[in-house]
Amino acid sequence: MSLSSTRPVDSHDASRAPQPRQWPLVQIMLSRLREFYREPEAVFWAYGFPMLMVVGLGIAFRNQPVEHIAVDVQQSPAGERAAEALAKNEKFVVEVNDSEVCRRRLRTAKTAVVVIAEESSAPKYEYLYDPTRPESVLARGAVDDALQRAAGRIDPAATSDVEIDEPGARYVDFLVPGLLGMSLMAGGLWGVGFLTVDMRIRKLLKRLLATPMSKSQFLAGVMLSRLIFMVPEVVLLLIFARLTFGVKVEGSLLAVVGLILLGAVSFAGIGLLVACRAKTLEAVSGLMNLVMLPMWLLSGIFFSPDRFPAAAQPFIKALPLTQLIDALRAVMLEGLPIATQWAPISMLAAWGLVSFILALRLFRWT
Amino acid sequence: MPPAIRCTNLVKRYDGRPPVDAVRGLDLVVEAGECFGMLGPNGAGKTTTIEIIEGLLTATSGEVEVLGRHWGRHDQDIKQRIGISLQETRLSEKLTVRETLQLFRSFYRQGIEPAEAMREVSLEEKADVWVRKLSGGQKQRLAVACALVGDPELLFLDEPTTGLDPQSRRQLWDIIRSFRERGRTVLLTTHYMDEAERLCDRVAIVDRGKVIALGSPRELIASLGGEHVIDFSLLNHNGPLLDPAEFSRLPAVESARLDGSGYSLSATEPHLALPALLGFLKQRGCELSSLTTRHASLEDVFVTLAGRHLDDAEAQPS
């Protein structure tokens, strides 16, 4: 190197020759991907946790036939006879207890129904049950049938039962699209939001702002890398649900993947918006919980949102997670073609796009 | 050739109660090809000033021109031609040195290869090591490499060696010197006197948001009137303190001032000043508890102008 050299004649000439184009968007995404898979905890929470949820909830809510009905009979001579009659049917698990124990067991859901038999010439029964508990209502009906028949009732109509337990109609089938939506929401918000605020705290955003990097490319890179993480996450979840519970996709798999990608991008956009000004991790955590809580509760992850009052429905329908889960269920469970889902799709896309544009405008780099 | 940087009457007021004026009418011209240092205590407004010039902050009023261009009109143009190292940036810990440089390289239309940037800052051996595993000095060199990877004409370094060990500091100085030797321009801030003296062609001493002295380190020191300093203190000296003005009448003594519990004289020729001083003290019946002589430094310039030392000169809100 010559000390007297001045710009532009200097040792850098060789390296100033045209170089292969480096795509900043690709580099931003690569950096994000590397940071992600080099963080084992993040990988576990992203990929392992949703699977644990499927296992846990799938087992807890597996659709087993109603095999046993717990019945308590209040102690008395007539009660003993009633208990004997019920015990003939294997599906009843009968216990004879005194009045107080019976009532306590009903209150604490140890038993589904309490039978009080009165001492009289003709059999006469009183049922204690909880009308708000489905199994209590069912038990009351079953016990009544059994006792009526024991007392000599003859059913006038001949009936026969055909049991149907098909994949697609079970709770776990309902649950998997909900969990997919939930992972997409949580992944998008936490992944993008936390990362962004962390980079702001580390003054890395400020450093990047001092480069000629395009801001929209940076934000798009953060969103798109989120999308790439989500693909293995949801594919794993789908395969896992298929292998363990036989959960099938009725409609087009391509449509499901498309919806998942759209969901990932939209929630990443919302994540950016949530994190666009927060200066501490505490602040962004609070905001994210605020944004996610209504969707956790209302968007139908675990049960249908139709149960909420009619007045709340427009609000519930406006939530992006409701739209995503509705569309996923329509395609996965009902096998509807993707074209029928244009309404939720456009709504979800609008959420993502509007959030991204707002985030770009409001974003604080320092 | 236009100057690399020109600031005219720069003012930055941070809103608040009360509002804080971090920069109050600062003028600065950095010529192309020089290494220019802004020297001053913490809170003097150095970082605010440099960040305004870098385009990261907007001035409340005043003009800034960088490479003949203006922020707000030629942002991309300027950003393509400058390199920046902020006072503290924590780069992504789980990326390697090479990956970090590749990322930064991708933002610039033209620049140097990441491998060359690593060579410039002597981090070739750490190419595939995670940033987390680097020492403080290595991290700082990587930060500088990120600034060099766009092959800038103008390099900004905000407190580049703060908190580093002596060896790391020297390594960084070498990097900065070699950059400047290629005819490029450097603007750095520091609160280390020795750094400014050894590295900078010209120095602006900044205090309370203003430039209080400007020139080459040699010129600034010469402006004190004497290149030597005699520091001394007196033993058990009771009674009225000696008036520093009395010392300045001694031969070869240019000026004198109280410095803490002792005195500090600025002298042109110590071999004349010292015997005179000793004779004067004997005549007054004073006994020395300590006496040292040294070359004058930029610190003395600051103390003379600001009336306090750099270390204990945290800017007071006024």
Residue after which a domain boundary falls, among A122, A150, A178? A150
Rg, C-alpha atoms of chain A: 30
Question: Which band of pLDDT confidence, cut at 50, 70 and 90, is reported for residue A14?
Answer: very low
The interface predicted TM-score of the complex, written ipTM, equals 0.85
The answer to whether B91 touches B146, Cβ cutoff 8 Å, is yes
Q: Do A46 and A180 lie in a common domain?
A: yes
CATH number at residue A114: 3.40.1710.10
Average pLDDT over residues A295-314: 89
Please indicate if any CB of chain A lies within 8 Å of the CB of B109: yes
Which single residue is written with the structure tokens 């079953």?
A142
Give the count of domains, chain A: 2
Nearest to A210 among B56, B106, B110 (CB): B56
**Does A198 share its domain with A316?**
yes
pLDDT band at residue A21 under the 50/70/90 scheme: low
Q: Which residue numbers in chain B have pLDDT < 70?
A: 236-240, 311-318
Q: How far is B203 from chain A (nearest CA, A)?
A: 22
User: Do A233 and A350 belong together in one domain?
Assistant: yes
d(CA A123, CA A290): 58
Question: Do A51 and A75 sit in the same domain of this protein?
Answer: no
In this complex, do A212 and B182 lie within 8 Å of one another by their Cβ atoms?
no
- The pLDDT of residue A167 is 60
Angstrom distances, CA of residue A210 to CA of A205, B83, B101, B114, B137: 9, 8, 15, 18, 22
Check B79 against A212: CB less than 8 A apart: yes
B106/A26 CB distance under 8 A: yes
Residue range B143-182, pLDDT digits in tens: 999 999 999 999 999 999 988 889 999 999 999 999 999 9
**Cβ-contact A214, A221 below 8 angstroms:** no
pLDDT of residue B106: 94
B28-77 residue pLDDT tens: 999 999 999 999 888 889 999 999 999 999 999 999 999 999 999 999 99
A174 and A277 co-located in one domain: yes
For chain B, say whether A120 makes contact (Cβ under 8 Å). Answer: no
Residues A186 and A289 grouped into a single domain? yes
Q: Report the C-alpha gap between A184 and A192 in whole angstroms.
A: 12
Tell me if chain A has a CB within 8 Å of the CB of B295. no
- Banded model confidence at residue A19, pLDDT cuts 50, 70, 90: low
Residue A12, in any domain of the structure? no
Residue B123 has what pLDDT? Answer: 94
A363 CA: distance to closest CA in chain B (Å): 14
Contact A16 B110 (CB under 8 A): yes
CB of A3 within 8 Å of a chain B CB? The answer is yes
Q: Which of A66-75, A77-86, B125-134 has the lowest mean pLDDT?
A: A66-75
**What residues of chain A, 165 to 224, have a C-beta less than 8 Å from chain B?**
202-204, 206-213
H, E, C per residue of A284-325: HHHHHHHHHHHHHHHCCCCCCHHHCCHHHHHHHHHCHHHHHH
Cβ atoms of residues A92 and A57 within 8 Å: no
Whether the CB of B58 is below 8 Å from some CB of chain A: the reply is no
Q: Give the pLDDT of residue A66.
A: 58
B5-221: what CATH class? alpha beta
β-strand B288-295 against B228-234: which pairing, if any?
A: antiparallel
Q: Are A131 and A186 contained in the same domain?
A: no
Chain A CB contacts of B130 below 8 Å: 38
Note the pLDDT tens digit of each residue in A171-218.
Answer: 788 888 998 898 889 888 888 888 899 999 999 999 999 999 988 889
Q: How would you list the strands of the sheet with B262-267, edge to edge?
A: B253-259, B262-267, B228-234, B288-295
Q: Is residue A7 part of a domain?
A: no
Q: Are A211 and B150 within 8 A, CB to CB?
A: yes
Angstroms from B273 CA to nearest CA on chain A: 42
pLDDT for residue B152: 96
CATH of B225-295, one of 2.60.120, 3.40.50, 2.40.128, 3.30.70: 3.30.70
- Tell me, yes or no, whether A260 and A317 share the same domain: yes
Note whether A43 contacts B: Cβ–Cβ < 8 A. Answer: no
pLDDT tens profile A211-269: 999 888 898 898 888 888 887 888 888 888 888 888 888 888 889 989 999 999 999 99
Quick one: angle between helices A171-201 and A253-274, nearest 10? 40
Look at B90 and A203 and tell me if their CB atoms are within 8 Å: yes
A277 and A196 in one domain?
yes
Structural domain contains residue A176: yes
Query: Vertex A30, ends A25 and A36: CA angle to 5°?
Result: 130
Q: Domain residues for A91?
A: 69-150
